[in-house]
Amino acid sequence: MATLIALDHPSPVGDAEALRKACQGWGTDEKAIISIIGHRNAVQRKLIRQAYEEIYHEDLVKRLESELSGDFEKAVNRWILDPADRDAVMANVAIKETIPDYRVIIEISCIRSPEELLAVKRAYQNRYKYNGDEINEALADSEADILHNVIKEKALNHEEIFRIVSTRSKAQLMATLNCFKDDHGSSITKHLVDDPADQYLLALRTAIRCINDPQKYYEKVMRNALNKAGTNEDALTRVIVTRAEKDLNEIKELYYKRNSVSLDHDVANETSGDYKEFLLTLLGKED
Amino acid sequence: MATLIALDHPSPVGDAEALRKACQGWGTDEKAIISIIGHRNAVQRKLIRQAYEEIYHEDLVKRLESELSGDFEKAVNRWILDPADRDAVMANVAIKETIPDYRVIIEISCIRSPEELLAVKRAYQNRYKYNGDEINEALADSEADILHNVIKEKALNHEEIFRIVSTRSKAQLMATLNCFKDDHGSSITKHLVDDPADQYLLALRTAIRCINDPQKYYEKVMRNALNKAGTNEDALTRVIVTRAEKDLNEIKELYYKRNSVSLDHDVANETSGDYKEFLLTLLGKED
């Protein structure tokens, strides 16, 4: 249960005007600020921020920051932000401290719901322009070496592979896989084929291919589905249905380059009847 | 780029009526079905399903399922579903097969965006009534033993702890922690205190506390923030601001039970001025 005593149906415009008044002239009316925002829920506070911005062309959060100070300012600042944005700010402050306070990060990751956590990640990216595409080249280089050593020692269920593949950003992981290829002559998936029946190796190769180049991966799924003895209709349907509205055109181009025959042609050859008609329609056949 | 050639501004009602006609009488008009749904994007297909349901009080997905057959039926079924719902169905079919096709799961986890993946998880739960609260008691028992052995051997950065804490559902993990307590007399966090300066142990204890009982965790954060030499204003602000609209009342009750003094009283004692007024307002003080 909440402790907040929120007012029923306050006027966002009236609140914005009262806050403006509390911030103007000599001295700030802290009591007025507390009596307003201390009794508004998250939605109401958001509407106040929007009304304030519209009326005064000024950011209420910044105005309060400049009017107030100390722990009071910090508490008002955290309170007036959207919950996800607030978590993003608190996480950033916590990890930038001389001695980072990881408890804040743990609280957010373990206590927020999956939905809330996703919103926090998005807010963090927006606010700190943290670019998911940024790459640490030195890290890519050292982790490519770690992967190579692990594979050379055939310690294939080694936790290091798992850690690298499951925790790095896609961009970072792709840089690592490129380093691997540059330093060792061939792609990592070529090194992960010791035992074709090993389910762990198969899963690892599939994950690396999916992360590295989804379209190239799907081209191969189609090639296997169409060109092996016995068409794999499930795979055929899956790729066409899930990619027809996304990037099936690029997959078609890759297929043509790789197989010197169009995907539509092979699909037409390996299927029949209404199923064939439907797949070709999704592949972009003009009626 | 998409291969789908979608019609501009089709009428959902007109489409629903045409599909109904294609399904009625002797035989099904497969060509008509293909010419409609094969040229509609995800939003348009959703509107058709809704219009069909409203007009005929019948689920279009089920109707098509009963009219069509074989690979064609499967393809139409996958296509007509919402993308997230479709992924949920494909994932479920893939793992229920005699030889599960894990590639489908890997594709979904590695290629979909974080937003899409969350939608798939939600669709999966809705569709298969998979209850996140279900508990495997035998697993809880065996994993409690694994944790106990790892701790006894002081192999505290052992990957097993990491695996269990980071991959099990909250409900499952709580069952495991309860087994641990029942079998070994005290909670696991009491066993993780060998070296108070060890950051790994601290993080692990914090995560376990957050997952196990967030309110009890927050009560302790408040207790430490208020009762140690030097008030920790950051922690105080963080807990009050983030929980005032959620469960601060329960945290207050736990605080009173544990410390025989109200949280409001201790906050009032350890803070001053506008900061104090603001925190007490969020704690539910009547004006």
ipTM, 2 dp = 0.77
Interatomic CA distance for residues A182 and A283, integer angstroms: 36
Q: Among all chains, which residue has been given the structure tokens 């965006």?
A: B113
Average pLDDT over residues A35-53: 97
**pLDDT digits 0-9 by tens, B133-179:** 789 999 999 999 999 988 888 765 567 888 888 888 888 999 999 99
Q: Which residue has the higher pLDDT, A36 or B157?
A: A36
Residues in contact with A94: Cβ distance below 8 Å, sequence separation at least 6, in sequence order: A100, A101, A102, A103, A104, A105
- Chain A to chain B Cβ contacts (< 8 Å): 200
Question: Would the CB atoms of B244 and A1 count as touching at under 8 Å?
Answer: no
Q: At what angle do helices B12-23 and B30-37 cross, to 10 degrees?
A: 160
Contact assignment for B102 to A283 by CB distance below 8 Å: no
Facing A284 at nearest CB: one of B3, B102, B207: B3
Ramachandran region, residue B27 (left: φ > 0; alpha: ψ -120 to 50; beta: rest): left
Choose the closest CB to B249 out of A2, A207, A287: A2
Beta-carbon separation of A2 and B242 below 8 A: no
Tell me how far apart the alpha carbons of residues A234 and B74 are, in angstroms, rounded to a whole number: 9
Residue B89 above 90 pLDDT? yes
At B105-138, the pLDDT tens digits run 999 999 998 889 989 988 998 898 776 678 999 9
Rounded CA gap, B93 and B84, in Å? 14
Mean pLDDT is lowest, of B42-46, B86-90, B122-126, for B122-126
CB contact under 8 A, A79 and B42: no
**Does the pLDDT value for residue B63 go beyond 90?**
yes
Query: Sorting pLDDT into bands at 50, 70 and 90, what band is A261?
Result: very high
Q: Which residue has the higher pLDDT, A35 or B152?
A: A35
Contact B177, B212 (CB under 8 A): yes
What average pLDDT does the structure give for chain B? 92
Q: Which of A46, A72, A111 is nearest to B280 (CA)?
A: A72
Q: At residue B62, does pLDDT exceed 90? A: yes
Query: Residue B114 is which amino acid?
Result: P
Question: What single DSSP character describes residue B196?
Answer: T
Please give the model's pTM, rounded to 2 decimal places: 0.77
Mean local confidence (pLDDT), A183-208: 83
* Range name among A171-175, A193-197, B27-31, B240-244 with the lowest pLDDT average: A193-197
pLDDT at B129: 74
- Yes or no: say if B248 and B269 are a contact pair by the CB < 8 Å rule: no
Token pair, residue A2, equals 């909440």
pLDDT at B177 (0 to 100):
92
B22: left (phi over 0), alpha (psi -120 to 50) or beta: alpha
Residues A90-109, buried b or exposed e (16+ Cβ, 10 A)? bbebbeeeeeebbbbbbbbe
Residues ≥6 apart with Cβ < 8 Å to B220: B209
Model confidence at B261: pLDDT above 80: yes
Q: Average pLDDT of chain A?
A: 92
- Residue A166: list chain B partners with CB under 8 A: none
Instruction: With beta carbons less than 8 A apart as the criterion, state whether A222 and A258 touch.
Output: no
Using a CB-CB distance cutoff of 8 angstroms, which residues of chain B are in contact with residue A232? none
pLDDT for B249:
97
Q: Does A106 sit within 8 Å of B203, measured CB to CB?
A: yes
Buried b (16+ CB within 10 A) or exposed e, A111-134: bbeeeebbbbbebbeeeeeeeeee
Nearest chain B alpha carbon to A115: B118
Range with the lowest mean pLDDT among A33-42, A122-131, B21-30, B118-127?
A122-131
pLDDT digits (tens, 9 = 90+) for A49-100: 999 999 999 999 999 999 999 999 999 999 999 999 999 999 999 999 988 8
> What's the confidence (pLDDT) of residue A133?
76
b/e map A188-227, b = 16+ CB within 10 Å:
bbebbeeeeeeeebbebbbbbbbbbebbebbbebbbebbe
Other CB atoms within 10 Å distance of the CB of residue B65: 15
Distance (Å) from the C-alpha of residue B211 to the closest C-alpha of chain A? 6
**pLDDT of residue B194 exceeding 80:** no
H runs (alpha helix) in chain A: 12-23, 30-37, 42-56, 60-67, 70-80, 83-96, 102-111, 114-128, 137-152, 159-167, 170-184, 199-212, 214-227, 233-243, 248-259, 263-270, 273-282
Among A70, A103, A238, beta carbon nearest to B90: A238
State how far the Cα of A17 lies from the Cα of A183, in Å rounded to an integer: 64
pLDDT of residue B151: 84
* Domain architecture of chain A: domains with CATH: 1-79 (1.10.220.10), 81-130 (1.10.220.10), 137-212 (1.10.220.10), 215-282 (1.10.220.10)
With bands split at pLDDT 50, 70 and 90, how would you rate the model's confidence at A190?
confident
A102 vs B203: CB contact, 8 Å cut-off? yes
* Token couple for A136: 């640490």
Residues, chain B: 287
Closest CA to B202 of B149, B265, B157: B157
Map residue B46 onto helix, strand or coil: helix
End-to-end CA gap in chain A: 60
Do residues A64 and A33 lie in contact, with contact meaning Cβ atoms separated by under 8 Å?
Answer: yes
